[in-house]
Structure 1
Amino acid sequence: MQPAETAGPADPDGPAGHAYLRYVALGDSQTEGLGDGDDATGLRGLADRLAEQLAVHSPGLAYANLAVRGRLAGQVRAEQLAPALALKPDLATVVAGVNDVLRPRFDADEVAGHLEAMFAALTTQGARVMTLTFPDLGRITPLARPLAPRVNALNDRIRAAGERHGVVVVETGHHPVVTDPRLWSEDRLHASPLGHERIAASLAYALQLPGSDDSWTHPLPPDGAPGPTLAAELRWAAGFLGPWLGRRLRGRSSGDARTAKRPALLPVRP
């Protein structure tokens, strides 16, 4: 599967300017939109932003977002795939697996198997499916460096599964800008509003939407901010890593008792 930035002309299944009518997003907190807004005022996120861009060219677009924070890939498959299929999307995004990477026990083949099952079911029904590769978390926070082999293993399997099912795999992970702190929220686990904007732009570019380009890969202007310090790492560990580990030890998730924010197909105002 060609990375988005080198993809050739769009094919008949997804031509530039194609009028998608039903977009359904499956996934975890990134797709739900954490880091872009809040629970009080509402979350936006990469899927909402992509839907808004699609609606500019497809005024009849309806959009559903089934993602729920904290979900593992197997939970996304178990809880979201059947509702997604029932909505009969002609475009779907499936982004999951990072929560699995962060767990003590990780099996790349198992996680990729859940993703591939979703790819297969959605493409067989006729949807154009898109997904992402993930950046090396150790380039975002040094304490996550031991996770690099897991991320690489999962990305390799996502590419292979995507190629088998004709899924558009957007290669966000290897561009240096993706580790710019300004693209990440304070917890370093979720994209910032600018990060979500760039991810949505990468998806729009892969779809060859009119007006899209590769500017999402470009570095941000220098800001003179200092690099990570030991004190900053310790503050992050106390403020975010500690509470996250505490929930895991108690068998809890940030998504407990939560449901999808947009379970039905609704019109989008561009």
Structure 2
Amino acid sequence: MSTVPARTDPVRYVAIGDSFSEGVGDDGDVPFPGWAGRLAVGLADHLSGPVSYANLAIRGRLLAGVLDGQLDAALALDPAPTLITFCGGGNDMLRPGYDVDVLLGRLAEAADAVAARGIRLALLSPADPSARLPLGRLINARGDAWAEALTGFSRERGLPFVDVSRDPHLGRAEFWSEDRLHMNPLGHQRVADLALHAIADGPEAAVPRVPDATKTSVGEELRYYRDHVVPWVRRRVTGRSSGDGRVAGQGDWATVVPSRSGGPGRLT
């Protein structure tokens, strides 16, 4: 059963979340980068008509920041959205005091607010970068706990859910960007395909066929820690965020047309 409005109804889709939903790491040559932008194009193609798209996600945001700021902005869009995707909690896993029950309580309040407006809400678990990160075991355990909580919550509420963190393919290095924390274009497209299937009864995501990643040398490992790990640690120590001072990249509605109608999805 489709979980988006029928084609006779307008489809206005807005994404809220952190760097994952913002699309960090997707440097592909596409008009709307990130899995959310790719999903918007996929929806337009699948539904054979234009889709309004906005993306309010900002990197570095904790779950509370997503729900306190971005959700209100999403609900204030004019005209109102018909579909909201939420993915958050990934940055919370990297903080002390991580508590799944507290996060789930905040999400329940948000889901109630969305449902009261008659808007569809779809949930995604955060991508799991733990395989090649420091503190990977801790991140993986916390990610599994959050994904399990989201699975139960979405089932209870009847919401579409994409379990990105436990996808059997996305843990592979081939789907991740140089910083090992954000997905590359292949990863974002995989998530978009999974989301289209879960949200709009799109085709089931195909098993990805990509070359195996090559092993990194000692020099490459040292450069990785210098260029990515050390700056991340410095931000934590100083209390700064990669999203400080940033605003949403697509804060108002853009029209995405089907890629089959004379070119890729584009602003109109």
TM value normalised by structure 1:
0.84
Distance, in Å, in 1 between the alignment partners of 2:173 and 2:8 is: 35
How far the C-alpha of 1:60 sits from its partner, in A, is 3.5
Q: How does 1:107-122 map to 2 (within 5 A)?
A: 107-122=99-114
Q: How does 1:250-261 map to 2 (within 5 A)?
A: 250-261=238-249
Determine the structure 1 residue equivalent to 2:40: 51
Distance, in Å, in 2 between the alignment partners of 1:98 and 1:252 is: 17
**Contact 2:52–2:256 under 8 Å retained in 1:** yes
Determine the structure 1 residue equivalent to 2:82: 90
Distance, in Å, in 2 between the alignment partners of 1:48 and 1:188 is: 21
Determine the structure 2 residue equivalent to 1:241: 229
Provide Cα deviations, 1:44-85, integer angstroms capped at 9, x if missing partner. 101111111112225242111111111000000111111111
TM value normalised by structure 2:
0.84
Q: 1:204 aligns with which of 196, 219, 243?
A: 196
Distance, in Å, in 2 between the alignment partners of 1:84 and 1:257 is: 19
Structure 1 stretches lacking a partner, 5+ long = 1-9
Specify the code of the residue in structure 2 equivalent to 1:44: P
**Contact 2:66–2:88 under 8 Å retained in 1:** yes
Determine the structure 1 residue equivalent to 2:261: none
**Counterpart secondary structure, 1:106:** coil
Determine the structure 1 residue equivalent to 2:260: none
**Contact 1:132–1:172 under 8 Å retained in 2:** yes
How far the C-alpha of 1:125 sits from its partner, in A, is 1.6
Distance, in Å, in 1 between the alignment partners of 2:125 and 2:191 is: 11
- Structure 1 residue 36 corresponds to structure 2 residue 23: no
CA RMSD of aligned residues (A): 2.6
**Residues 17 and 179 of structure 1, relative CA distance in 2, 3 Å threshold:** farther
Q: 1:225 aligns with which of 214, 218, 239?
A: 214
Distance, in Å, in 2 between the alignment partners of 1:49 and 1:224 is: 24
**Counterpart secondary structure, 1:265:** strand
**Contact 1:36–1:196 under 8 Å retained in 2:** yes
**Counterpart secondary structure, 2:53:** strand
